[in-house]
Structure 1
Amino acid sequence: MDRRPIGVMDSGLGGLSVLRVLRRELPDESLLFVGDQGHFPYGTKTQAEVRRLALAIGRFLVRHDAKLMVVACNTATGAALPALQAALPIPVIGVIRPGANAALATNPRTIGVIGTDSTIKNGAYERTLHELQPAVQVVSQPAQPLVSIVEHGQTGTSAAQQAVDKVLQCFVTQPVETLILGCTHFPFLSREIQRRLGPSVRLIDPAYETVQTVKQVLTDKHLLAAGGQQRTALYTTGRIADLQAGADKWLAGDYEQCSSVKLDGE
């Protein structure tokens, strides 16, 4: 039994979508979340800059005794996962391969991917999907404006629906059977996205499959905190009030600590 926390990082509030699945699926585990809102957004940064920020957060999590790191950010997974796995002394899990596996589970012929500018430009989902299933057709679409909709608490508004309708216009002329929500912010817009694409399109939130991978790694390495009391500590490099607002909305205010943090080199 290992009661050290699971560390989770994101460029902002989107990683809370992974955190809430972790809390549901692994109720005995304590969680340590870092939202890098002070450097938001990652999707318009260079790969090298995203790697630098992700490594700084990884080192922070290790110093705070995390037993495993979840990169709950598609952009950071695409840019920094191998570097994090090489540099840190703990297991590091990203969200791209679990999301790709989930999308292919029902053998669709066409899969759409929406993500930040960086994630789409990097092509990590398309590469992974074709590695797993060479014949699948992939339609990728950058959806950077939707990230700000979530960060600014505009989900459920007419402005959110208008933004979704505009960004997803390409899927009207290039219809898909399955759509990967390739940014952890996007599950908070799933209602608007489903409304735009229609009920026949299957939406894939990589969070659930990522958490199943976490559960398997913890089991294999005998790191589960069976019988523990879950605690959730939240950190931000930006404004505490912004993180608190997101956590109150999406975690129902169920956390013990919400603090600010400065990363290495700042």
Structure 2
Amino acid sequence: MNNSPIGIFDSGVGGTSIWREIHKLLPHENTIYLADSKNAPYGPKGKDRITELSIKNTELLLEKGCKLIVVACNTATTNAIKYLRENYDVPFIGIEPAIKPAALQTKSKAIGILATKGTLSSELFHKTTDLYTNGIKIIEQVGEGLVPLIENGEIDTPEMENLLKIYLKPMLEANIDYLVLGCSHYPYLIPKLKTLLPKHVTIIDSGIAVAKQTASILESLNLSTQEKTSGDCLFYSNGNPEILNEILQDDFLVEGLVF
């Protein structure tokens, strides 16, 4: 099992932001990334449908021999990871908005959270928010329309900039000093966000924390590879593989797959 791959899935290309951090921290591990672009975004879908899609992705990764699965999607984590952990005999690592560090470090006592509808309406999100944000103003914003634009490779477009300006306006009016990105697609917007936000606003995503947790779980379960060569990285997409190629901008093989 030690040389078996780490499986990673997301509702499209966004979870590659999580994959990058995992690959950077654990370069000797084999990885398989699954982009369910055909069904992106997961955010507007109901809990049952999100769970159904997460089951499909999980079973495909298990068929490919994965030793651990990273649910690199905030919406799938908050809606389906409990079911996955209860029904499959493999470790799962989820991703949720990094509310805790923002809440602990804010000086203005106001933080913005940009996320999908599925994440913001989930029970797990509300539990985390209630636990860490007493006395802090939270400005929640559904990033409607952002994921489809990213999935189509339309990051540097006037439409994207206009949407971001609309979504950031109430946050800036509330004097936020932290912006939490609650979708694994959104780190690809950081360069654009930095041009629209004051310099004192810190942007936080969950990629590094997820990578560290992956390393910790592998070590604790004695599942870490002993190989010293660079791991194999495989990517599958049921959408347009060229979009995934553009996002990766590296010499990786992206295969189209029907699932």
TM-score by length of 2: 0.91
Q: Which residue of 2 is the match for residue 63 of structure 1?
A: 63
Counterpart residue identity of residue 193, structure 1:
L
Q: Which residue of 1 is the match for residue 195 of structure 2?
A: 195
Q: Pick which of 6-15 and 132-141 moved more.
A: 132-141
Q: Indicate conservation of the 8 Å contact 2:71/2:95, yes or no.
A: yes
Q: 1:166-194, CA deviations, whole angstroms, 9 ceiling, x for partnerless residues? A: 22222132221211110111111112222
**CA distance in structure 2 between the partners assigned to 1:259 and 1:253 by the alignment:** 17
The answer for unaligned runs of 5 or more in structure 1 is none
Q: Pick which of 131-140 and 147-156 moved more.
A: 131-140
Q: 1:211-246, CA deviations, whole angstroms, 9 ceiling, x for partnerless residues? A: 1111111111111113243111111233xxx23332
Q: Indicate conservation of the 8 Å contact 2:111/2:171, yes or no.
A: no
Q: Is the partner of 1:161 in helix, strand or coil?
A: helix
Q: Indicate conservation of the 8 Å contact 1:231/1:256, yes or no.
A: no
Q: Which residue of 1 is the match for residue 243 of structure 2?
A: 245
Q: Which residue of 1 is the match for residue 164 of structure 2?
A: 164
**CA distance in structure 2 between the partners assigned to 1:84 and 1:102 by the alignment:** 27
Q: CA deviation at 1:258?
A: 1.6
Q: Pick which of 111-120 and 133-142 moved more.
A: 133-142
Q: 1:26-82, CA deviations, whole angstroms, 9 ceiling, x for partnerless residues? A: 101111111111112211111110001001111111111111111111111111010
Q: How many residues align?
A: 257
Counterpart residue identity of residue 243, structure 1:
P
Q: Which residue of 1 is the match for residue 93 of structure 2?
A: 93
Counterpart residue identity of residue 80, structure 2:
A
After the TM superposition, which residues 22-171 of structure 1 pair with which residues of structure 2 at under 5 Å, given as runs? 22-96=22-96, 99-104=98-103, 106=105, 108=107, 109-122=109-122, 124-171=124-171
TM-score by length of 1: 0.89
Q: CA deviation at 1:249?
A: 2.7
Q: Pick which of 148-157 and 197-206 moved more.
A: 148-157
Q: CA deviation at 1:126?
A: 4.1
Q: Which residue of 2 is the match for residue 234 of structure 1?
A: 235
Q: Which residue of 2 is the match for residue 222 of structure 1?
A: 222
RMSD of aligned Cα (Å): 1.9
**CA distance in structure 2 between the partners assigned to 1:138 and 1:250 by the alignment:** 31
**CA distance in structure 2 between the partners assigned to 1:182 and 1:103 by the alignment:** 12
Q: CA deviation at 1:129?
A: 3.2
Counterpart residue identity of residue 162, structure 1:
N
Going from structure 1 to structure 2, the CA distance change for 1:61 and 1:233 (only over 3 Å counts) comes to: same
Q: CA deviation at 1:96?
A: 0.9
Going from structure 1 to structure 2, the CA distance change for 1:217 and 1:104 (only over 3 Å counts) comes to: farther
Q: Indicate conservation of the 8 Å contact 1:20/1:250, yes or no.
A: no
Q: Indicate conservation of the 8 Å contact 1:51/1:76, yes or no.
A: yes
Going from structure 1 to structure 2, the CA distance change for 1:69 and 1:46 (only over 3 Å counts) comes to: same
**CA distance in structure 2 between the partners assigned to 1:25 and 1:193 by the alignment:** 25
Matched, 1:260 2:242: no
Going from structure 1 to structure 2, the CA distance change for 1:150 and 1:189 (only over 3 Å counts) comes to: same
Going from structure 1 to structure 2, the CA distance change for 1:123 and 1:161 (only over 3 Å counts) comes to: farther
Going from structure 1 to structure 2, the CA distance change for 1:105 and 1:261 (only over 3 Å counts) comes to: farther
Q: Indicate conservation of the 8 Å contact 1:100/1:125, yes or no.
A: no
